[in-house]
Structure 1
Amino acid sequence: MSKILMKGNEAIAEAAIRSGCRLYFAYPITPQSELIEYMAKMMPKVNGTFIQAESEVAAINMVYGAAGSGKRVMTSSSSPGISLKMEGLSYIAGAELPCVVVNVQRGGPGLGDIQPAQGDYFQATKGGGHGDYRLIVLAPSSVQEFADMASEAFDLADKYRNPVMILADGMLGQMMEPVEFKPAKTDAELQELANQHLSWCICPNEDGDKKHHHEINSLELDPLVLEQHVLGLYKKYAEIQKNEIRYETYNISDENEVLCVAWGTASRVVKSAINEVLKEGKSVGLIRPIRVWPYPYEAIKQAIGKNVKKVYVFELNSGQMVEDVKIAVEGKVPVDFWGKVGGVVFTPAEIKEKLEECF
């Protein structure tokens, strides 16, 4: 199959449709508006349902209802819009329903600006909504990976009956790169996926041979019942942590004197800087978490070889993932952080300068 030059926002939309998304509810916000525009144009062509909701709050509650049908459902937004969705996401996690949420991050806090940033890491990985719950969080670094994560996200959501967030940023949503798409799922494959949810979904809810009446709910007034429910959720989260960690290593060896950790598009800038430092005969490695929850603590711990003098974290925020890196490092070596905020993106030259200071 030939590659197609597409914006990240359009690529994730097309990939979601090919992955079987037939229900999409959202509200426009820059820098992900092309995603909702693409869905508005294409969903009717696959007999799907597109609704531009009156608000982000309405959109996530539409997702909540639709997810109960056992069909593949998605929403998308950007940072402040995701904040409005967090209450609904907590409900969805509590009710154990599968869905996919795309966050194309912009600068903050507040309305901020429309430039790329990574300031939503805490919100995504530490629970931006209320209560004890977790989102599975995927962090793409290229348009191809952004698109590939659509089917991955839906599969994970179905497997664990849990919301999955794809945590991108404005740069990834707006940039254009060649993309090769996976074949679209057939109607038969989509029906097979839907059939797998018959044991819990609300459809069909009818009398006769197919009679079943399932309750979709996150409200438990009895504290002992709620306690058992939350403990059950955390057994599921333990399975996710055991089975679903994904990360990339770049130039990791026993000779590394500095270990870098970066995620998303920021990791591409860091990788370019590392390539320049390697030309000078210095050894620097990189670990890029592909899934930022569950987090690859053990991989970072193991990458601290005998020669590593420092771990350097680079993010487009004021220092958020750095806390997870410090947990992984366990105080064995110093952990430094450097980042840019407000939608400003650091350059390879700036990262190279920071790395050279370590030698």
Structure 2
Amino acid sequence: MSDKVLMKGNEAIAEAAIKAGCRYFFGYPITPQNEIPAYMSKRMPKVDGVYLQAESEVAAINMVYGAAGAGARVMTSSSSPGISLKQEGISYIIGSDLPCVIVNIVRGGPGLGGIQPAQSDYFQAVKGGAHGDYNTVVLAPSTVQEAVDLMTDAFDIADMYRMPVMVLGDGMLGQMMEPVEFKAQKGRDLKPKDWATTGTQNQRSKNVVNSLFIDPQVLEKLNFERYERYKLIEQNEVKYEMTDCDDADVVLVAYGTTARIAKTAMKSARAEGYKVGLIRPITLWPFPVEAFQKAAKTAKAFLTVEMSMGQMVEDVRLAVNGEKPVHFYGRTGGMVPTPAAIVEEIKKLSGGEK
């Protein structure tokens, strides 16, 4: 008997977060992620958790800041314009070395844009949409099941390295329904949160949560220490998928739901005799540079496919480092690439019909 259940992506993400130990959720409604806070509002009271709809996205992220400072497993979710409003708070959380999980179900922009799926928040997520020197671990699931599976890792990575982790999806992932299984996952061995502001009980010195450091030497030292942690993350937390790249002349590059469309195009092109592979980054930061260095040894060209005007393509070009040409095909504003259009791009790069 199967233990799988049919769930909408947003609701599955919320349930997976609860099963990963999340007991505090602060958010504000915005399409196309509304099912996450709606689901949390029903489930959190049943697991002795806290759900609170804040008066704004700015308030929500600062509530996350407070709960994270007390050592709680805490999450917020939003969609593109809402994530923009949270950026100042995200920088404060990073500057205070606190763990949390942030889910962004991306919609078309800029501005209020539209409510259709997009990937145009890549720069904001990966390059840092807030102020200061920092990185955020960014996970990009391509299926509802993968989103479920990554939630435990998201909270564990946040706790292990004391930093926010962003789960970057899009309107398709959030709104589609797929069968999912909530597998028992063994979490990581994590250190006690002896830095948390849980009260001293007159048994230890007080802890202080703070991101303000007036002495530049102190602030520089903290930033250096933070980047040493980032080096460990780059060594230990890179995730990606490579498909049929060993003999590929053209390697497609795509993440999230776009990678599913690209995989269909890859199979169609191979059926017509074109040698095509696919690299799917699962961690957008840290970026899987080694996958591209390996593929560049045999591939003739790379084709990056995105639901944007071209953002990840810059990281692909950096990773390939000029060894092979990197091309781009994208749709934007909520428009979704089709497998047929991607196949046409593959044919152009391969010199036309076989």
Using the size of structure 2 for normalisation, the TM-score is 0.96
**C-alpha displacement of 1:310:** 1.1
Amino acid at match of 1:141: S
**C-alpha displacement of 1:247:** 0.2
Amino acid at match of 1:345: V
- Contact 2:242/2:291 (<8 A) preserved: no
Quote the residue 1:332 is aligned against.
323
- Contact 1:266/1:316 (<8 A) preserved: yes
Quote the residue 2:195 is aligned against.
200
Quote the residue 1:98 is aligned against.
99
**C-alpha displacement of 1:206:** 2.3
Quote the residue 1:310 is aligned against.
301
Quote the residue 2:209 is aligned against.
216
Amino acid at match of 2:339: P
Query: What RMSD over aligned residues (CA atoms) do the two structures have, in Å?
Result: 1.5
SS at match of 1:83: helix
Cα distance in structure 2, aligned partners of 1:148 and 1:81: 25
- Contact 1:134/1:237 (<8 A) preserved: yes
| Alignment partner of 2:332 out of 318, 341, 344 | 341
Cα distance in structure 2, aligned partners of 1:204 and 1:248: 44
Q: Deviations over 1:288-333 (max 9, x none)?
A: 0000000011211111133x22111000000000000000111111
Quote the residue 1:257 is aligned against.
249
What is the correspondence of 1:138-287 to structure 2 with a 5 Å cutoff? 138-183=139-184, 196-197=192-193, 199-207=194-202, 210-253=203-246, 255-287=247-279
Task: For structure 2, list consecutive stretches of 5 or more residues without a partner in the other structure.
Answer: none
**C-alpha displacement of 1:76:** 0.2
Paired residues in the alignment total: 349
Quote the residue 2:345 is aligned against.
354
Amino acid at match of 1:302: K
**C-alpha displacement of 1:72:** 0.4
**C-alpha displacement of 1:259:** 1.0
**C-alpha displacement of 1:356:** 1.3
Using the size of structure 1 for normalisation, the TM-score is 0.95
- Contact 1:206/1:212 (<8 A) preserved: no
- Contact 1:204/1:212 (<8 A) preserved: no
- Contact 1:79/1:106 (<8 A) preserved: yes
Quote the residue 1:87 is aligned against.
88
Cα distance in structure 2, aligned partners of 1:282 and 1:78: 38
- Contact 1:107/1:341 (<8 A) preserved: yes
- Contact 2:23/2:73 (<8 A) preserved: yes
**C-alpha displacement of 1:184:** 8.4
**C-alpha displacement of 1:242:** 1.1
Cα distance in structure 1, aligned partners of 2:295 and 2:43: 44
- Contact 2:32/2:175 (<8 A) preserved: yes
- Contact 2:152/2:185 (<8 A) preserved: no
SS at match of 2:231: helix
Quote the residue 2:74 is aligned against.
73
Quote the residue 2:128 is aligned against.
127
Identical counterparts, % of pairs = 57
1:17 aligns with 2:8: no
**C-alpha displacement of 1:182:** 2.5
Cα distance in structure 2, aligned partners of 1:205 and 1:123: 38
SS at match of 1:111: coil
SS at match of 1:101: strand
**C-alpha displacement of 1:260:** 1.1
